């Protein structure tokens, strides 16, 4: 049986239809490469419709898997259906017929019955269904329940499951729901797939890249079975098994790319640090607080990297205030015990100064020298600091990226800590390596993201997470307000300022270069500064200001010379202004939850109670989403909610990072699968970094097909 319309194909592609001709011309060797138009039951018109679904080739059609399924498990007894529900029901057709209406519309109607009751189903404008749905058929319908002379379903979907008395066959009990389009209904898609699937899955078998025993060990079906299961699953669980297989495939190859980067970064041996505990014990004794369990665990993970000969290549993520700096300090002390220096790099000078201050406080009782290198030093100071770095008296050196970019000469650099620079890495590390230095690297991020997403984006890094806050933090009181409450909000700001505190007012900018939005923010600033808060000191900061100007405004706010700071989202993630107690976010509905959480994290750092006011317009849905902010301050919980609501691509600039669009991977459900894929990919690269062994030939091909010559997901910024 050929399910392909070979005759039509031969007419359209005479040069490849005959195998003898294919010798000279590289021919599509598989049916999967042929245009979908030549599949059985397609033709030019349906091919056009398929194209609107992104389906061009037969392969595309095979991978056009259902969006979801309906089955008996989602079926409600007919007696329980209520008006307003969106329901799926199964019953026997007890009567049917076409009813004309006065307007000329002809309606097909059928009455369904199960053990609990009866309901009318109605298909306006589809009289032809008379030929498809007959008395005695077992029918599955899904659609809204309405009131029309009684309860009635208007099915969006239906499937004839069989005859009433035919209960043996439950193979048809699952109804796949495809993405359909005008001119190509669900039913057409189903029938096209029915006619071609056997042949398509037969050909896809040749594209299997994993051995059967490899898949069996991981509980995954083969590619052929996976696609078969997705299109005609005996149960919804079986379809899920098919999806997992394809998700594994997506994850494995991305992790292969990450593993190669990781190999490159860790190939050169790092320093094998040893614990003498001279400094570390003293630090433990003098620390003014006990470490949280999460900090202890992160330090353990970091030490395990540092005491191994392999270079550390780790990301430490945790909310603002979760105590990352303290963890970094312990890593720096281990380096110092071994006679090595640590460079801690921050994205801005203000943040570098802040880190230096924290580290100096914490190390005050210890024989450790913390140096700060910024552009604000006088010539004289600078040359002193450079001297202490070169001789090694400075053990922890804090600065911006200029620290390593300007070729500062270290006596013995053993550890680099990078704050808020997720993509620090490859280029900078190469620059260091060229100086003959291969330090261990610890990247820190205050953007909590779900573990599954972190492993996807930063798969070349190992991950430590601070998912616990030090005790005794004051909660930030968060409230959602409407436009109508604006003057009350302004009144509240005035009160807080009168009590000696400071406030942020943040405006959303689609992008920092958006002129219209920027004008809106600037005009709003003028209104606030000139009218609303005429008696207060109001400043403005946005992305179009020069670095110097931004720095000046931020310092003024930090010093308490401004009461209110009107800002776009440029205000630094890590900035710590303990006296700032109010964060007002305008048009909160335009921000993602994670972004709101980041903004809110700029307050709540001092001893006073802090407040976050979200001013939002928009419908009930937008408000419902923002409620999450009122309910929790847990950045990871918020990130998970955000992920569920917006999907991975939209989050955290995942697309900008070059993250591919996943069709099968589900970040919420597939964390274990992801960990497995990462472990598998790393094992392959460890054993065969160049993928040059014959058994890895296919991996190399697929990797190149998907990611081209790209060496890593993103290039460093
Ligand atoms: P992050 O860098 O993650 O934003 P920091 O390391 O700057 O957090 O810590 C925030 C504040 O909490 C600092 O003042 C720090 O001294 C304090 N801190 C850190 N760890 C603890 C802890 N385990 N118990 C109490 N306070 C802590
Ligand atoms: Mg910090």
Q: Which ligand is nearest to the CA of 319?
A: 1
Q: pLDDT (tens digit, 9 = 90+) per residue, 662-697?
A: 889 988 889 999 999 999 999 999 999 999 999 999
Compute the distance between CA of residue 275 and CA of residue 478 in angstroms, rounded to an integer.
Answer: 45
Q: pLDDT (tens digit, 9 = 90+) per residue, 302-334?
A: 999 999 988 898 999 999 889 999 999 999 999
For 58, 89, 670, the CA distances from 75, given in Å and listed in that order, are 33, 5, 27
Confidence (pLDDT) at 23: 45
Output the CA 663–ligand 2 centroid distance in Å: 36
Output the CA 322–ligand 1 centroid distance in Å: 6
Q: Ligand 1 pocket, 291 CB below 6 A?
A: yes
Backbone angles phi, psi at 599, to 5 degrees: -65, -45
Confidence (pLDDT) at 1: 39
Q: Ligand 1 pocket, 635 CB below 6 A?
A: no
Mean pLDDT, 10 residues at a time, the chain of 717 residues: 49 45 51 90 91 93 90 81 89 92 90 92 90 87 89 87 55 73 80 92 94 96 96 90 96 94 80 90 94 97 94 91 94 97 90 94 96 91 94 95 78 90 62 72 88 85 92 90 93 96 87 70 90 95 87 93 91 80 93 90 87 90 89 91 78 67 88 95 95 94 84 52
Residue 480 pairs in a beta bridge with: 614
In the three-class reduction of DSSP (H, G, I as helix; E, B as strand; rest coil), residue 422 is classed as: coil
Compute the distance between CA of residue 557 and CA of residue 567 in angstroms, rounded to an integer.
Answer: 11
Compute the distance between CA of residue 301 and CA of residue 306 in angstroms, rounded to an integer.
Answer: 9
Please report, rounded to a whole number, the percentage of residues in the chain having pLDDT higher than 70.
Answer: 88
Confidence (pLDDT) at 198: 95
- Helix ranges restricted to H, 103-235: 186-204, 212-217, 223-231
Q: Ligand 1 pocket, 293 CB below 6 A?
A: no
Output the CA 254–ligand 1 centroid distance in Å: 35
Q: Ligand 1 pocket, 358 CB below 6 A?
A: yes
| Percent of the chain that is helix, strand, coil (3-state, to 5) | 45, 20, 35
Q: Which ligand is nearest to the CA of 605?
A: 1
Own/partner pairs, 206-212, CB within 8 angstroms, 24+ separation: 206/30, 207/32, 209/249, 209/698, 209/699, 209/702
Q: Which ligand is nearest to the CA of 288?
A: 1
Q: Ligand 1 pocket, 318 CB below 6 A?
A: yes
Residue 108 pairs in a beta bridge with: 98, 123
Q: Ligand 1 pocket, 601 CB below 6 A?
A: no
Q: Ligand 1 pocket, 321 CB below 6 A?
A: yes
User: Which atom of ligand 1 sits closest to the CA of residue 318?
Assistant: 3
In the three-class reduction of DSSP (H, G, I as helix; E, B as strand; rest coil), residue 419 is classed as: strand
504 close to 580: Cβ distance less than 8 angstroms: yes
- Give which of 216, 155, 221 is closest to 186, Cα–Cα: 155
614 conformational bin, left if phi > 0, alpha if psi -120 to 50, beta if neither: beta
Q: Ligand 1 pocket, 289 CB below 6 A?
A: yes
Q: Ligand 1 pocket, 245 CB below 6 A?
A: no
Q: Ligand 1 pocket, 357 CB below 6 A?
A: no
346 close to 419: Cβ distance less than 8 angstroms: yes
- Helices 349-363 and 547-558 cross at an angle (nearest 10°) of 40
Kindly report the protein residue whose alpha carbon is nearest to atom 17 of ligand 1. 323
Confidence (pLDDT) at 411: 93
User: Which atom of ligand 1 sits closest to the CA of residue 326?
Assistant: 6
Query: CA torsion, points 411, 412, 417, 418, in degrees to nearest 10?
Result: 50
- Structure token digits, residue 114: 């199960």
Confidence (pLDDT) at 529: 94
427 close to 405: Cβ distance less than 8 angstroms: no
Output the CA 322–ligand 2 centroid distance in Å: 8
With a CB cutoff of 8 Å and minimum separation 6, the contacts of 103 are none
Q: Ligand 1 pocket, 470 CB below 6 A?
A: yes
296, 299, 325: which to mutate for ligand 1, most atoms within 8 A of CB? Answer: 325
Q: Which ligand is nearest to the CA of 358?
A: 1
For 188, 203, 595, the CA distances from 38, given in Å and listed in that order, are 15, 16, 48
């Amino acid at each position: 049986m050929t399910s392909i319309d070979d005759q039509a194909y031969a007419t359209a592609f005479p040069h490849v239809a005959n195998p003898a001709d294919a010798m000279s011309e590289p021919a599509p060797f598989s049916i999967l490469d042929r245009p979908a138009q030549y599949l059985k039951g397609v033709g030019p018109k349906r091919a056009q419709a398929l194209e609107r679904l992104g389906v061009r080739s037969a392969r595309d059609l095979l991978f056009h898997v259902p969006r979801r399924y309906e089955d008996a498990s989602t079926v409600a007894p007919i007696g329980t259906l209520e008006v307003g529900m969106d329901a799926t029901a199964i019953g026997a057709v007890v009567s049917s017929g076409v009813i004309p209406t006065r307007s000329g519309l002809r309606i097909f109607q059928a009455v369904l019955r199960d053990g609990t009751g009866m309901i009318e189903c109605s298909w306006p404008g589809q009289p032809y269904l008379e030929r498809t749905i007959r008395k005695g058929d077992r029918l599955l319908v899904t659609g809204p329940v309405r009131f029309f002379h009684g309860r009635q379903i208007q099915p969006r979907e239906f499937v004839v499951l069989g005859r009433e008395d035919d209960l043996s066959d439950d193979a048809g009990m699952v109804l796949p729901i495809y993405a359909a389009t005008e001119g190509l209904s669900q039913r057409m898609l189903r029938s096209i797939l029915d006619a071609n699937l056997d042949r398509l899955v037969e050909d896809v078998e040749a594209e299997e890249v994993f051995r059967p025993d490899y898949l069996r060990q991981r509980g995954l079906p083969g590619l052929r079975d996976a696609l078969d299961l997705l299109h005609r699953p005996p149960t919804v669980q079986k379809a899920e098994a098919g999806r997992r297989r394809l998700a594994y495939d997506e994850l494995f190859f991305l992790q292969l790319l990450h593993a190669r980067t990781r190999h490159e970064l860790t190939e050169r041996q790092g320093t094998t640090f040893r614990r003498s505990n001279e400094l570390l014990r003293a630090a433990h004794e003098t620390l003014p607080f006990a470490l949280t369990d999460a900090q202890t665990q992160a330090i353990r993970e970091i030490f395990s990297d540092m005491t191994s000969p392999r270079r550390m290549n780790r990301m430490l993520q945790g909310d603002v205030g979760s105590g990352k700096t303290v963890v970094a300090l312990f890593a720096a002390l281990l380096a110092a015990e071994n006679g090595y220096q640590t460079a801690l790099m921050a994205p801005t000078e203000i943040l570098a100064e802040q880190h230096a201050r924290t580290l100096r406080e914490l190390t005050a009782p210890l024989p450790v020298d913390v140096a700060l290198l910024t552009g604000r030093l006088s010539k004289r100071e600078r040359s002193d600091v450079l001297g202490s770095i070169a001789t090694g008296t400075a053990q922890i050196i804090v600065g911006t990226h200029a620290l390593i970019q300007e070729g500062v000469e270290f006596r013995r650099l053993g550890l680099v800590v990078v704050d808020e620079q997720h993509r620090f890495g490859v280029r900078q590390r190469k620059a260091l390596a060229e100086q003959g230095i291969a330090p261990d690297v610890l990247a820190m991020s205050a953007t909590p993201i779900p573990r599954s997403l972190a492993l996807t984006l930063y798969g070349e890094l190992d991950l430590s997470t601070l998912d616990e806050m030090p005790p005794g933090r004051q909660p930030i009181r968060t409230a959602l307000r409407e436009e109508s409450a604006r003057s009350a909000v302004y009144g509240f700001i005035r009160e807080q300022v009168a009590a000696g505190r400071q406030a942020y007012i943040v405006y959303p900018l689609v992008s920092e270069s958006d002129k219209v939005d920027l004008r809106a923010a600037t005009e709003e600033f003028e209104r606030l500064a000139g009218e609303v808060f005429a008696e207060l000191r109001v400043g403005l900061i946005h992305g179009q200001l020069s670095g110097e100007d931004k720095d000046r405004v931020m310092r003024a706010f930090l010093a308490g010379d401004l009461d209110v700071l009107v800002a776009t989202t440029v205000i630094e993630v890590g900035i710590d202004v303990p006296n700032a107690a109010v964060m007002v976010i305008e048009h909160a509905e335009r921000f993602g939850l994670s972004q709101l959480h980041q903004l809110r994290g700029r307050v709540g750092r001092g001893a006073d109670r802090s407040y976050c006011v979200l001013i939002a317009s928009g419908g009930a849905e937008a408000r419902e989403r923002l409620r999450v902010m009122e309910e929790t301050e847990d950045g990871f919980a918020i990130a998970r909610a955000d992920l569920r609501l917006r999907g991975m691509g939209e989050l955290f600039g995942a697309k900008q990072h070059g993250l591919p669009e996943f069709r099968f991977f589900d970040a919420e459900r597939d964390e274990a699968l992801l960990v497995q894929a990462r472990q598998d990919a790393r094992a392959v690269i460890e054993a065969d970094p160049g993928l040059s062994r014959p058994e890895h030939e296919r991996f190399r091909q697929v990797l190149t097909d998907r990611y081209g010559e790209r060496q890593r997901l993103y290039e460093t910024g």
